[in-house]
Amino acid sequence: MNSSKKSVLFVCTHNSARSQTAEGLLNHFHGGRYEAFSAGTEKTLVRPLAIKAMRQIGIDISKHESKTVDFFGEREFDFVITVCDNAREQCPFIPTRNQRLHWSFEDPAAATGTDAEKLAVFQKVRNQIKERIDNYFG
């Protein structure tokens, strides 16, 4: 981790969509001052529709890998932000130097309908996460 930047860990259940999106957005738009990471309470795969929604705004998260909070061991973060209610309830203790926050976002992976309708939900959640990040860290 770059010690001149504030560190931020985004946590959701599977580290497959919301937390990955938040990591990509913060690093892309505010990477000069913050270094973002993401993890889940469980490990899965990054959702292809999350990758696609991010690619549409010029951010490539296709190389991101899902990981659990255990991956970071005892590392301290300046901010720990849970982005889903389940992670907030199940999240183990993660050392933080500054703030622990909870930002609740709809689970885009639960979207139903056509591929276009599902993608629209990923886009909506991406935009909501970006707005929250810009308002808080901008």
Pairing of strands 96-102, 6-12: unpaired
The one catalytic residue among 11, 12, 81, 87: 12
Verify whether residue 93 is a known catalytic residue: no
Exposure of 14 by Cβ count < 10 A (0-12 exposed, 13-18 middle, 19+ buried)? buried
Verify whether residue 84 is a known catalytic residue: yes
The one catalytic residue among 84, 109, 119, 121: 84
Residues 6+ apart with CB under 8 A from 82: 10, 11, 12, 88, 91, 101, 102, 103
Verify whether residue 138 is a known catalytic residue: no
The one catalytic residue among 91, 119, 121, 125: 91
Residue 65's identity, in one-letter code, is E
The residues annotated as belonging to the active site are 12, 84, 91
